[in-house]
A and B are shown apart, each in its own frame.
Chain A
């Protein structure tokens, strides 16, 4: 059971400002159902350009709902200039703290606020800033870097707690570590490969690697490859097109396909051909 403060419980059980302002001046939406939490924030300004009304709708756990509720209370009466300096830490502090595994709930609040302000100012929604690092939760290197700098994060686990990156299949752990190293100007260390990959994730990763890395290369030579089955560390494939009749196909298989898969998925993989 999570150790929630009384204030978190209060804002969860009696959330303030629930709803949707139909003629809102600013609207911000973050998260998705697949990710397990999502927030829609709407606000209306008064004639002095202060936030007169603000409402939220949240799908998620108790701390996600409490963070959203807290944020709306903090925003009332503020100018956008005052609002935009609110950080995720401020939200967590308002609630008397959040369990560290739940810090991403406060980050979600800050992100929604940022988007709502951008929407009001008519700024184009910032495109995914930077390069995608965590595909499971759609987190970019810029977002990770920002979270590391703002919250003084030191480990992959910290990053996962704050922005969710690395909390899914785990294949981006090396990249996250690299960003942490860069921020702190450390000599890169090779992080151990993820130990948490499930079979489904492994199969997905094999498929992705085949699609993205291997097929295009084989297709250049008029060949192709089909994934037949994955059984533990054994990957069964079928070579087609020119590859099937190529005398060097075994070399392709072992030296290219297998080594590429080992590099991208896990070093234990054995690729076998199905005729």
Chain B
């Protein structure tokens, strides 16, 4: 059975071009870039080339890019560097809808003496920028906000926020793991000090990521060790994956128009098809500004895990914000922060596309999903009562 992969915010297929570029560094060029001999040293030049490509994707200088092992390491490095650079300040700020890489880190910092302001979002997932403005203090060390939300795709106004923070001595970090490669990300226009991005969301392998550190931003390493990354991240370079990330970044730049054209049109077709054909369904998050590949939809009176497993029978891969799929008993903190009622949060499904999707993928979902929801609703004790009310 062919796999219809619509879970690209979870992870993406490694591009064949990326794999091809990596193989020589796994098979033949195994030298250590720190070595003095030519065999090792030549590997270093490929790392430089990759660094340039990643810098180009976000309009940074190559020396502003640090390679890390994952988006979470980039986030942790950024946040810890920011608070260590102004140890006297004890207030940090983030949103209520962050990825666990930031959410759980901030919850941890809250226990170690930091005052955390959690900026709320509205029913459509938009950030309350006024709330953020009103809660900035002279004690604020760091503001960390995601560029785009992994569950809903809602994009935060990063540029507008950076102008609010400007000249206040507050470090601004953005987790752009979901945004990079899907919408134009320009660190200069955005005015951020630190930016995280991750390889496996843009068709590079898992285990490689990058952190942008604006020139002039105070920095202290999270991984302390050798002189790699100019002393900003110790540890022998993951050469093959770095090369892969370079190729993936280059491809992401070329694919940007495709993602915002063809893929966006497929996403809209999918979303419109679902909302039109399935009663009591709703989009989670505002229509715009939103990632062109993401659609979060809730189906009332049914539970997400059941929907996922029934779609799985047709090879359709997606995600859910329901409690049962998360391993906890409570549904997604993102949907709850938006005020999505339990009745809908338990039945939320996220579809996320990539450049590898084709029209027939979304057609398949639009064809298969309505009977799945209908079937699960017939099983549900709540549906009959609700249906009576609706008619």
Name A residues whose Cβ lies closer than 8 Å to a Cβ of B: 2, 9, 12-13, 15, 18, 20, 29, 33-40, 57-62, 64-65, 101, 137, 160, 164, 167-168, 195, 198-200, 231-234, 268
Contacts and interface: CB of A to CB of B under 8 A. Distances in A.
A36 B331 contact: yes
Given A57-B379, A58-B379, 5 more contacts: A18-B378, A59-B380, A61-B303, A61-B304, A231-B116
A15 B380 CA distance: 12
A59 B381 contact: yes
B305 interface: yes
Interface of B: 91, 96, 107, 110-111, 114-118, 135, 301-306, 309-310, 313, 322-325, 327-331, 333, 336-337, 342-343, 346, 378-382, 384
A234 B135 CA distance: 13
Given A13-B313, A61-B324, A167-B329, A232 B381 contact: no
A60 B309 CA distance: 12
Contacts of A64: 303
Contact of A58 (B116, B333, B381): B381
Contacts of B313: 13
User: Counting chain A CB atoms within 10 Å of each CB, which of B110, B301, B313, B384 scores highest?
Assistant: B110
B302 A59 contact: yes
A61 B346 CA distance: 10
Contacts of B343: 33-34
Contact of B306 (A20, A65, A168, A195): A65
A167 B330 contact: yes
B270 to A, nearest CB: 23
B281 to A, nearest CB: 16
A268 B108 CA distance: 13
A230 to B, nearest CB: 10
18 contacts: A9-B309, A12-B309, A20-B384, A33-B301, A34-B343, A36-B322, A36-B323, A37-B324, A38-B382, A57-B380, A58-B380, A59-B301, A61-B306, A65-B306, A195-B111, A199-B116, A231-B135, A232-B114
A13 B310 contact: yes
A58 B301 CA distance: 10
A34 B107 CA distance: 25
Contact of B115 (A160, A198, A231): A231
A13 B329 CA distance: 23
Contacts of A60: 303, 306, 324
A262 to B, nearest CB: 14
A36 to B, nearest CB: 5
Contacts of A101: 327
B194 to A, nearest CB: 21
A232 B342 contact: no
B380 A198 contact: no
Contacts of B322: 36, 61
Contact of A18 (B117, B327, B337, B379): B379
B22 to A, nearest CB: 28
A37 B381 CA distance: 10
B115 A39 contact: no
A199 B115 contact: no
Contacts of A234: 115
A72 to B, nearest CB: 12
B117 A33 contact: no
Given A18-B379, A59-B303, A61-B305, A233 B110 contact: yes
Contacts of B91: 232
B333 A29 contact: no
Pairs of residues from A and B, 9 with the lowest C-beta to C-beta distance, nearest first: A167-B329, A61-B324, A232-B115, A57-B381, A61-B305, A40-B381, A59-B380, A232-B116, A34-B342
